[in-house]
Amino acid sequence: MALNTTCSFTLPGWLEPFVAGWDAPLASAEQRMALAVALAAENVKHHTGGPFGAIVIEEHSNRLLGVGVNLVTAVELSMAHAEMVAVSLAQGASGHWNLGAGKEVQLVTSCEPCAMCFGAVPWSGVRSIVWGACREDAEAAGFDEGDKPADWQESLERRGITTRGGVLRREAARVLARYASRSGAIYHPENSRGES
């Protein structure tokens, strides 16, 4: 039996020109969230993955370090959530696993992090996280967000990672609802639609 010894993913072809054409500033949490939500909406529009988008940004310079969209169904990797993709690509570009080495880095995601992404945040080096839609919005669309401690925000804050939720929540939740209304794949092992 031959073992698979590589694992990789590539962002959809529409993403790079879309981000290159994004001319709105990225100075505020709302402006940054607008890009994350737009990435999620484009991912749904192009049928290239789930309704989630994320960016990694250097806070003081507003320099975009990485972008991601949910690629779970596109590349058949359960860990290919938008946050994980954005952080991985930012780490690859920086050549270091610690994104916060010498700079303040923020993760902006169109939805509250699931259990997996929450767990990855402290190890990535980001110093703050901002999200749009809440767990309830994702679960209303059919997604399983996993088990997180009730005090998950406080646990990040104790580690020096600031948190802010509900930024452009209505807009982000609309992307989730639109995806669900179009019978987009809801991926988790025990999903009620019987999809894989």
Concerning whether 83 is annotated as a catalytic residue, the answer is yes
Tokens 């975009």, located at residue: 64
Catalytic residue among 42, 83, 112, 145: 83
Among all residues, which ones are annotated catalytic?
83
